[in-house]
Amino acid sequence: MQIEQLSAWTDGSDQPFIIAGPCSAETEEQLFKTAKELKENGINVIRAGVWKPRTRPGTFEGIGEDALKWIQKIKKELDVKFAIEVANAQHVELALKYGIDILWIGARSTVNPFTVQEIADALKGHDVPVLVKNPLNPDLALWIGAMERLNQAGITKLGAIHRGFSTSKKTKFRNLPQWQMALELKRKYPEMPMICDPSHIAGKRDMIQELSQKAMDLVFDGLIIESHIDPENAWSDAAQQVTPTHLKEILEALVLRHTKSDNPEFQTHLAELREKIDELDREIFETLADRMKIVDEIGEYKKDNKVTVFQINRYKEMMKARGEWAEELHLNDEFMENVFSLIHDAAIRRQTLIMNETEEKA
């Protein structure tokens, strides 16, 4: 993909790129007051929900075009930029008509290639930045595919918004961060601006500081945070919005780290530690290779004795034991489960190949 650097379509600052504003544009007064306070606190790009994709009908779904008229007036009066979500071609046309500066595609839209293509077609010939939120579920190919469709339509001012992933599990997050998904996208496309949405990951305002700092530590390029003049009485997402004053406190408390240090002592010590990591990684790979030899041997034995590859009771025993080992070694339970599940899945694939008399190795 051909992607412009973030500095090419922002103010060029080396500080994190910040977008903030209410979940929804509710009234002209609410939007103006929020934008004014944000501007006074150093925020120059305001977000506002004009159309709100809601899970169920009968809830507040946005003001629509009238909100765009408010935005047009506020932009001139306060000298700020605005970012809004678009979900179809009509939204795009109206957003461009009213001079919206940045568009974003929401998680519900990203999951549908037809919707993304419709938006991409409507954007052809226009030079406007577009940010793409991750899809509802952790599907990296779907996320990348949405950006590729926009890029093929001529959009080069592209960026990604990491807002976390839906889950049926009860966790402290509204949406699971699964940071590795955003980092994998960044590894594939280092030039891709990566914006974190701590508001939607958290679902509650008291976690926004922690998540914003985590994003900065992972070298995200910026943040998009919901801010409302009166969060408690917001018409949508009240629990996760912060006042402009609170937002300023959050941003001022961020510790911005460097990607490298010129300190010779640091460089030397870091090189030594990395060498130890490399040695341990080599040992891990050698151990895994030995394990797979035994897996193959077991596969042959199962085949000769007409025994199924997957043994549910054995799997449960293994998971229980490995969980206990992880606890003894002070390893995170989720980390252990993810790692061992990958190893076990690889073992199942190898034994399945053996059952089918395939010599190919996984």
The residue that leads in pLDDT, 336 or 40, is 40
Would you say residue 12 has pLDDT above 50? yes
How much is the pLDDT for 258?
A: 81
Query: pLDDT tens across 201-229, in order?
Result: 999 999 999 999 999 999 999 999 999 99
Q: Which pLDDT belongs to residue 260?
A: 79
Report how far residue 319's alpha carbon sits from residue 312's, in angstroms, rounded to the nearest whole number: 11
| CATH code 3.20.20.70 region(s) in the chain | 6-253
Q: How far apart are CA 30 and CA 18, in angstroms?
A: 20
Q: What is the pLDDT of residue 44?
A: 96
Which is higher by pLDDT, 338 or 115?
A: 115
Long-range contacts of 274-278 (CB under 8 A, 24+ apart): none
Residues 6+ apart with CB under 8 A from 88: 115, 118, 119
Dump the DSSP string for 163-193: --B--SS--SSSSB--HHHHHHHHHH-TTS-
Res. 130: pLDDT tops 50: yes
pLDDT for the residue numbered 362: 44
- Asked whether the predicted pLDDT for residue 136 surpasses 90, the reply is yes
pLDDT at 359 over 70: no
Mean pLDDT of 160-164: 97
User: Residue 358's pLDDT band (boundaries 50, 70, 90)?
Assistant: very low
User: Comparing 22-26, 56-60, 274-278, which segment has the lowest mean pLDDT?
Assistant: 56-60
Cα–Cα distance, 194 to 234 (Å, whole number)? 28
How many other CB atoms sit within 10 Å of the CB of residue 314?
Answer: 9
Would you say residue 261 has pLDDT above 50?
yes
Q: What is the mean pLDDT of residues 161-178?
A: 92
Q: 242: number of CA atoms within 13 Å, CB side?
A: 23
Q: What pLDDT is recorded for position 131?
A: 98
pLDDT class of 342 with cuts at 50, 70, 90: very high
**Per-chain mean pLDDT for the chain:** 93
Ranges 11-20, 48-57, 113-122, most confident:
113-122
Query: Which H or E run includes 3?
Result: none
Phi and psi dihedrals of 34, rounded to 5?
-65, -50
CATH, range 6-253 = 3.20.20.70
Kindly state the average pLDDT of the residues 7-19.
Answer: 88
pTM of the model: 0.81
Q: Is the pLDDT of residue 360 over 60?
A: no
Residue with tokens 């889950």: 167
CATH 1.20.59.10 region(s) of the chain? 264-355
- Alpha carbons 322 and 339: distance in angstroms, whole number: 11
| Token pair in block for residue 155 | 């959009």
**Domain made up of 264-355: CATH architecture:** Up-down Bundle (1.20)
Name the region of 71 (left: φ>0; alpha: ψ -120 to 50; beta: rest). Answer: alpha
| Percentage of the residues of the chain whose pLDDT score is greater than 70 | 98
Band the pLDDT of 361: cuts 50, 70, 90. Answer: very low
What is the reported pLDDT for 234?
95
Q: Please state which of the ranges 54-58, 133-137, 179-183, 250-254 shows the lowest mean pLDDT.
A: 54-58
Over range 14-20, report the average pLDDT. 94
